[in-house]
Amino acid sequence: MSDRLNLNKKETRQTILQQRKAFPAKEKNLAEQRMLKFLKNWDVFIQAETIHIFMSKIDEPNTGPIILYAWESGKTIVVPYVLPNTFNLFHSQLNSFDDLSPGALGVLEPSPEKRIRITPESINLVIIPGVAFDLQGGRIGYGKGYYDRFLEQTKAFRLALAFDFQIIDKVPTEKHDVPMNGILSESGIFEVNN
């Protein structure tokens, strides 16, 4: 990787993460309500039986309401977990928020005794976190490559979840970066790379 590309990613990551931390709670909540409304009416979501979704951190778009709605709609929810000292995501069915506890990276994930392993091939839709995205499908994650390795194992539709300000003109990408098929923000669902 070139030093310039690395620097561009680092600068972009820092800028967007600062914006996310400064996003007012009221505006964040309104944006999340709009995202859920768009998702409820989207064909890919309606038809998906098994949905992989991340457990959001405090400044990320809140995935809790999406998970609740998916359960109400009879869908199987799958969330990631990380085994200590590995760089791979594993996947477990989630049946209740009570089954969660802080994981290796400090993110909520299914407690070891509650894990029901799910294979990536059985997933229809993956809702993906990240720092910055572009409308060509580019994504900047958090820098560890967990999602890129996972997304190579599934044919599921890859939907980024982001606030409008996380969508930029052009994300610096490399060969190993797996592109998104769409982005869900408070402005709607933008399908790309189909």
C-alpha 70/C-alpha 90 separation (Å) is 21
Please state, in angstroms and rounded to a whole number, the distance separating the CA atoms of residues 96 and 86.
26
The reported pLDDT for the residue numbered 104 is 78
- By mean pLDDT, which of 31-35, 86-90, 151-155 is the weakest? 86-90
> Could you give the CA distance from residue 136 to residue 174 in angstroms, rounded to a whole number?
13
- Angstrom distance (rounded) from CA 120 to CA 122: 5
* 1 confidence band (pLDDT: 50, 70, 90): very low
Distance CA 99, CA 114 (A): 6
pLDDT of residue 194 exceeding 80: no
Q: What tens digit of pLDDT does each residue of 102-139 get?
A: 987 789 999 999 999 999 999 999 999 999 999 999 99
Residue 144 is predicted with a pLDDT of 82
Tell me which CATH homologous superfamily contains domain 3-90+102-141+152-157: NagB/RpiA/CoA transferase-like (3.40.50.10420)
Convert the pLDDT of each residue in 71-99 to its tens digit.
999 999 999 999 888 888 999 999 999 99
